[in-house]
Amino acid sequence: MKTMTCRQFGGPCDLEHRGETADDVIKAQDQHLKDAEKSGDTTHLAARKDMKGRWMHPKKSMGWYREMKQTFADLPES
């Protein structure tokens, strides 16, 4: 199990996401941003816009995805 924060994904807070794989924590971050948007949290809007843009242009976002997977791989087990 490894942990990444919202801030490590480019977000504004230190909420921790835990998962067995990079995809687990990426999905948790996506859900966190959706929930923040729904609750009216404007501090997360830029990060949410970036995330939505990545999902809409998957080929273009592969660099970000590879970087997040590498960051996750480099983390110690927690």
Residue 57: what pLDDT?
83
User: If you average pLDDT over every residue of the chain, what do you get?
Assistant: 93
Residues paired with 50 in a beta bridge: none
Residue 12: what pLDDT?
96
First to last CA, the chain: 6
Domain boundaries, the chain: 2-74
pLDDT digits (tens, 9 = 90+) for 35-55: 999 999 999 999 999 988 887
